[in-house]
Structure 1
Amino acid sequence: MYYIGVDLGTSALKLVMMDSKGELVKSVSKEYPLDFPHSGWSEQNPTDWFLAVKEGLREISVGAAEKIAGISFGGQMHGLVILDKDDNVLRPAILWNDGRSTEETDYLNNVIGKEKLSELTANIAFAGFTAPKILWVKKNEPEIFEKISKIMLPKDYISYMLSGSFCTDYSDASGMLLLDVKNKKWSSEMIEICGISKSMLPKLYESYEVVGDIKSEIAKELGLNEDIKIIAGAGDNAAAAIGTGTVGDGACNISLGTSGTIFISSKNFGVDKYNALHSFDHSDGNYHLMGCMLSAASCNKWWMEDILKTKEFAAEQENIDNLGENKVFFLPYLMGERSPHNDPAARGTFVGMSMDTRREDMTLAILEGVTFGLRDSLEVARSLGIEIKKTMICGGGAKSPLWKRLVANIMNVEVEVPVSEEGPGFGAAILAAVGCGEYESVEAATKSIIKIKEKIEPEADLVVKYEERYKRFKKIYPALKGIFKEIL
């Protein structure tokens, strides 16, 4: 049988089809618009996602429709999708990298209080989280707020449109600031704080659980069987972790996607005392800690396409030869920053340029800056006594040999590259297979399916050089923090 994983990304949708042995059969990509109505705002139309999903399912199922058993999802997290009583979308979805809810975030952290939030949800408020967005709509669009009947996350809108099941999973719900992460239930106090009702929130499932069958009318429209199972799925980072085998206790995955994450799985619930890392439920049924940067591979894409006006990413990296000796630094905060600074006002910055600075130096600074930013989160984990000696890696940035080498040496860890680098889509396909009974558990599935094709070891001389450069990098944000709010 075949299992489809839907990766609902920020700029594009990717569907992957996997067979029962975990081999990838086919993949399809579809793009959709991303809108920035104001500086720091980020929105999309949920109907664009569903149109892309239908087109993708129609295309990927050609010649295989009769063998598709299940569909699951890995979706961009935190986005606010709101529907009225007739299931009409009330406004464009406010996305994970949207920074408009600064006042609401400050209210939650400073009036409700970080300690109280951490007690209720295991996390503090970040502008990208869903709860501050709800409060922003309540304050700024009261006529829309009054019409809210359902509150959804992006992938769950797709699931609802395909199955009619109003649902979410624990991993994705963890990023809403509405879930009691430790006890896996909606927080009644957070619901009250946001001025909503529990009926507006979806039913909770484990990521590998079946939430329903595909709607008969959708199956007929797309030429699919009506007994296809729809499986809950996961937030994109939790799904990507499944796709790299980052399950169980103490495993690590770094994702260099539009955003960047360091993801550490655990069988035990835990919270760092500063809440610099997110404490979320994992899609394997356990827990995880996660540091999230809002701009990772998107920094390199911006630099290459918008500034250098080229799509030859690999060619731009070919002549870079000064690893560990670059005088230029880059702060990768193009959309503000989440972990560990929690500063929506932060912005991207080049520091250290001189008359002899080369194009290659600035390109390298982009890659180094993102990796330094991810190391900030790794250092928080290390401060908790978590020892990370190796990590899996995925995402578009992981296609760069240079960037993988930088991760190994800046973080001083062995980097492992899986055979499949399909990220959230592949993890979602594995969740679909587990949900349909192909494997007895997520851990059993990943042990059978995930294979390593490459290992990158740290180089002793570069580790020493990058240790010194990281110490300098850490001083730049504190020195500029006060300026960022003045230049917005």
Structure 2
Amino acid sequence: MYLGVDIGTSGVKAVLVQDDGALLAQASAPLPISRPDPLWSEQNPNDWVAATDAAVLALPLDLRGRVQAVGLAGQMHGAVLLGSDDKPLRPAILWNDGRSFAECTELEAAEPGTRVITGNIAMPGFTAPKLLWVRKHEPAIFAATRTVLLPKDYVRLVLTGEKASDMSDSAGTLWLDGAARDWSDAMLAATGLDRSAMPRLVEGGAIAGQLSAVTAARWGMGRVPVAGGAGDNAAGAAGVGVIADGDALLSLGTSGVIFVATADFRPNPARAVHAFCHCLPDMWHQMSVHLSAASCIDWGARLTGRDVPAFMAGAEAAGVAAGPELFLPYLSGERTPHNDPHARGALLRLDNETDPGRIAAAVLEGVAFAHADGIAALREAGTRIEQLAVIGGGARSQHWGRIIAAALDVELHYLEGGEVGPALGAARLAQIAATGASPADCCLRPPVRAGIAPDPMLAEQLAPKLAQFRAAWPALRTLREET
């Protein structure tokens, strides 16, 4: 029995998985987000700890007692600044925080080799620019900072007393030499830090500590090992067997990601494609990242005064390309391919016939169009993608899947347990750590419960709106720059 815990943005999910990969139980606990200023997005690190505790304790006690190892997955890029007492000095700055845009330019000027070393263009979502912002705007806090951890690794510190991180999560900091799988002294120096502020690095399936006696007693477990774990996207990939060169997935969570496993390090920063380490040894991955995906569904439901099931039902009833409405899903800025934290969403081409159903249809289409831009950037880099395994909360809607398959011209595979997401991969990494088994034996592809091939007629219906979508963003950006 293995426990996987995913420290997400909107909540923490905990799952219990058998040796054969079968999911036995799951529980979750919500998390609040603070946005005290424009572009800001923060959380209290101790809220993650409390939510992790609540989610684990909601699992059956008799099953918890059989856990052999724990794996952690988590939201990437968050900056947790700790003082000499290992306590947070300020709220964590999250992955969807856009305040450090100017610092990205400063970072690349300070270290011109940034894109070569890290494989990525500097973006405000990444961790390193956040530290430059703190150094500039909160110098006393920067001076007091002794350790910088990622979200899941702060939870690990509380659970085990160990400061450790895995390669996949650490690759999203801009402090990791992606090809070498090691901290880059040059990138650390460019932000006024050195290795003493960094956790030790381990592979995702390596043992990174063990539960403290206090945590083990509270959870009703032994002092079992805790695996290195993974960033949420790499963990999601491990959970559904996306571990070989060319394997790919689509994650429809709060954010949206197209993830492709690669046997070598293949950066393409010019198109804002991410190139990171995988959570498995000698593997890497490429990603297109969209900061708003399923979160747009929540936004649209609030806007129209409906709950999410009614909102989705309204979209399906309205039909595909039902009206002229266009939705640009840049509610928190955008990464691939625009790299613009100041990008904002828009609902365009409304008329007297616009109703909640047509708005819902436009929202689903808009998120699909953003992913079409993302897969185009990956394909421009020479990556071939013909199938995508679908994971995350958005995987529940096959109507949305038909729209996405047509817009991306790719076949979607819905896997059993795919909606569990990164927590499942964290449990599989725990199994590797506890047993020494190979990733090929543990990270198996779940059975396909449904498949959606791209519908040529649907693609033809969507094509004019996709063209309008792509024309709308440059026009809106120009309007923003002129005001």
TM-score bracket for the superposition, by shorter chain length: over 0.9
What letter corresponds to residue 432 of structure 1 in structure 2? A
Distance between the aligned counterparts of 1:220 and 1:351, measured in 2?
55
Distance between the aligned counterparts of 2:278 and 2:317, measured in 1?
40
Instruction: Give SS of 2:420's match.
Output: coil
Instruction: Give SS of 1:63's match.
Output: helix
What letter corresponds to residue 420 of structure 2 in structure 1? E
What letter corresponds to residue 267 of structure 1 in structure 2? A
What letter corresponds to residue 431 of structure 2 in structure 1? A
1:99-120 CA distance string (max 9 Å, x none): 11122123224x247x621112
What letter corresponds to residue 190 of structure 1 in structure 2? M
1:291-324 CA distance string (max 9 Å, x none): 1111111011011024424343443234122x24
- Equivalent residue, structure 2, for 1:422: 420
CA contact (8 A) 1:276 1:377 kept: no
**1:169-188 correspondence runs (5 A):** 169-188=166-185
Deviation at 1:83, TM superposition (A): 0.8
**1:385-464 correspondence runs (5 A):** 385-420=382-417, 421-437=419-435, 440-447=437-444, 450-464=446-460
Distance between the aligned counterparts of 1:92 and 1:424, measured in 2?
24
- Does 2:272 align with 1:265? no
**1:25-424 correspondence runs (5 A):** 25-109=24-108, 111-112=109-110, 116-226=113-223, 228-272=224-268, 274-285=270-281, 286-311=283-308, 312-321=310-319, 323-324=320-321, 326-420=323-417, 421-424=419-422
Instruction: Give SS of 1:73's match.
Output: strand
1:104-140 CA distance string (max 9 Å, x none): 123224x247x62111211111111000100011111
Distance between the aligned counterparts of 1:162 and 1:61, measured in 2?
20
What letter corresponds to residue 84 of structure 2 in structure 1? K
CA contact (8 A) 1:208 1:435 kept: yes
Instruction: Give SS of 2:352's match.
Output: coil
CA contact (8 A) 2:79 2:94 kept: yes
CA contact (8 A) 2:107 2:191 kept: no
**1:467-486 correspondence runs (5 A):** 467-484=463-480
1:17-46 CA distance string (max 9 Å, x none): 101110001001101211111122111001
1:272-308 CA distance string (max 9 Å, x none): 2614200000112201000111111101101102442
Distance between the aligned counterparts of 1:220 and 1:271, measured in 2?
45
Deviation at 1:348, TM superposition (A): 0.4
Could you list the runs of 5+ residues in structure 2 that have no partner in the other structure? none
Distance between the aligned counterparts of 2:116 and 2:222, measured in 1?
45
Distance between the aligned counterparts of 2:437 and 2:379, measured in 1?
33
What letter corresponds to residue 340 of structure 2 in structure 1? D
1:182-218 CA distance string (max 9 Å, x none): 1111111111110012100010111111111111122
- Does 2:2 align with 1:3? yes
Moved more, 215-224 or 200-209: 215-224
CA contact (8 A) 2:119 2:269 kept: no
Size of the aligned set, in residue pairs, is 480
Moved more, 348-357 or 21-30: 348-357
Distance between the aligned counterparts of 1:102 and 1:313, measured in 2?
34
Distance between the aligned counterparts of 1:203 and 1:68, measured in 2?
25
Distance between the aligned counterparts of 1:239 and 1:273, measured in 2?
23
1:367-395 CA distance string (max 9 Å, x none): 11111111111001111222211111111
Indicate the RMSD between aligned Cα atoms, in angstroms: 1.6
Percent same amino acid among aligned pairs? 38
Distance between the aligned counterparts of 2:162 and 2:230, measured in 1?
15
- Superposition misfits of 4+ residues, deviation over 4 angstroms: none
CA contact (8 A) 2:245 2:261 kept: yes
CA contact (8 A) 2:322 2:358 kept: no
Deviation at 1:8, TM superposition (A): 0.7
Instruction: Give SS of 1:68's match.
Output: coil
CA contact (8 A) 1:97 1:128 kept: yes
Moved more, 241-250 or 192-201: 241-250
With over 3 angstroms needed to count, the CA separation of the structure-2 counterparts of 1:463 and 1:315, relative to structure 1, is: closer
Deviation at 1:485, TM superposition (A): 5.1
What letter corresponds to residue 221 of structure 2 in structure 1? L
1:159-204 CA distance string (max 9 Å, x none): 1111111011110011101100011111111111100121000101
CA contact (8 A) 2:249 2:389 kept: yes
